[in-house]
Chain A
Amino acid sequence: MTVMSRDFRQGFIDTLPVIIAAIPIGLLWGTLAAGKGLSPLEAGLMSATVFAGAAQFVAIELWREPVPWLLLTVTVFIVNVRHILMGASLSRHMGQIASRWHPVMMFMMADENWAFSERRALTSPLTLAYYAGLTLPMMVVWTTSSTIGALVGRSLGDPAAFGFDFAFSALFIGILAGFWKGPRTGAVLGASAITAALAKLYVPGAWYIVIGGMAGVAVAAILYMEEETP
């Protein structure tokens, strides 16, 4: 076996649990998309080109007729602003890979393959084959499961009847637990949650996400200052 196929395989094996978990989430997203009137083709196209679970769930939450395409574009940008930081961090480990591949790699970067790449870079240089193993199967599965979700979703009816509307919140709570580092994280999350909930009530559009996020970041910065003083 060549180094390339070995690295690809390793990436695929590392990400397999995430891929399995992504199937019901993709099905769920497709179901919600169909509920808002998207065709299976449109749902699949969005999953293949946007390829960002959180942003897609938020977009479907905001989706209505007539389609607010500008609000959706701006909102998705806000939800995905974290990619700038993730990309900046990942770019430090891309030195071994020809730079013509860098924009392609970035197109496919998502929370999960980013996290695995960062972990890999701790012990060995990041290769294109490993990154592809992390990413390509995930893209195929995500696009396929969300298309199937949109196909069968119409027959499932109202997602709220099965509590599916809460699955997205539950998923994020599950991901959030991985970020927990102690009381300081609690302060960041508390500030973000309260500010976002208030902003949602009083500020139109989806700005509550960036307002809440900034409140959390501000608290993190303030607590760091306090740590510095003896």
Chain B
Amino acid sequence: MSLDPITLLAIFGMALATYATRLGGLYLMRGVAMTGRIKTALDALPPAILMAVIAPTILATGIAETIAAAITASAALLRLPLVAVILTGVVSVVLLRMVLN
């Protein structure tokens, strides 16, 4: 068990940054009307961010990752439980890497 000072600083910074975003909603957005185009745009933010996080992995890593992502998406759209979707992705990427590499 060890605690590195720079690691601790990173964890503290990340915790503070995260808490700022959580508190921010409580105070900053008070009084902003959530209607019409603003609401539509804000509704799109969570999926757009989630997609942006994984896009480099699934589009720009290799053909095995891209195909595995497509298979995983099919499992997800079939409404399989989250754990089954993850297993589908992991198993397909392992198999595809074996076949394609």
Q: A98 in the interface, Cβ–Cβ < 8 Å?
A: no
Q: A45 in the interface, Cβ–Cβ < 8 Å?
A: yes
Partner of B41, one of A24, A49, A103, A221: A221
Q: Which positions 36-51 of chain A face chain B at CB distance < 8 Å?
A: 38-42, 45-46, 49-51
Whether A169 and B72, one on each chain, are in contact in the complex, defined by CB atoms closer than 8 angstroms, is: yes
Q: List 28 A-B contacts (CB under 8 A).
A: A39-B3, A40-B1, A50-B14, A55-B18, A76-B13, A77-B17, A77-B20, A81-B45, A84-B29, A85-B29, A87-B21, A87-B29, A88-B25, A88-B30, A88-B32, A103-B23, A106-B25, A163-B97, A166-B93, A169-B58, A172-B53, A173-B54, A174-B82, A188-B48, A193-B52, A218-B41, A220-B40, A224-B37
Whether B45 and A208, one on each chain, are in contact in the complex, defined by CB atoms closer than 8 angstroms, is: no
Whether A80 and B82, one on each chain, are in contact in the complex, defined by CB atoms closer than 8 angstroms, is: no
Interface string of A36-71 (1 = CB under 8 A from B): 001111100110011110110011000000111110
Tally of B interface residues using CB under 8 Å:
74
Q: A83 in the interface, Cβ–Cβ < 8 Å?
A: yes
Interface extent on A, as a size class?
A: 35 or more
Q: A3 in the interface, Cβ–Cβ < 8 Å?
A: no
Partner of A84, one of B21, B57, B69, B93: B21
With CB as the reference atom, state the residue of chain A lying closest to B6. A67
Whether A174 and B86, one on each chain, are in contact in the complex, defined by CB atoms closer than 8 angstroms, is: yes
Q: Tell me the bound Cα distance from A212 to B43 in angstroms.
A: 15
Contact (A164, B32) CB under 8 Å given A42-B4, A216-B52:
no
With CB as the reference atom, state the residue of chain B lying closest to A223. B40
Q: Tell me the bound Cα distance from A176 to B3 in angstroms.
A: 35
* A176: chain B residues within 8 A (beta carbon): 47, 50-51, 73, 76
Whether A193 and B9, one on each chain, are in contact in the complex, defined by CB atoms closer than 8 angstroms, is: no
Q: Tell me the bound Cα distance from A45 to B11 in angstroms.
A: 8
- Majority SS at the chain A contact face: helix
Whether B49 and A79, one on each chain, are in contact in the complex, defined by CB atoms closer than 8 angstroms, is: yes
Q: Which of B22, B69, B76 has the most CB of A within 10 A?
A: B22
Q: Tell me the bound Cα distance from A224 to B41 in angstroms.
A: 8
With CB as the reference atom, state the residue of chain A lying closest to B29. A88
Interface string of A14-38 (1 = CB under 8 A from B): 0001001100110000000000001
| Min CB gap B35→A, angstroms | 11
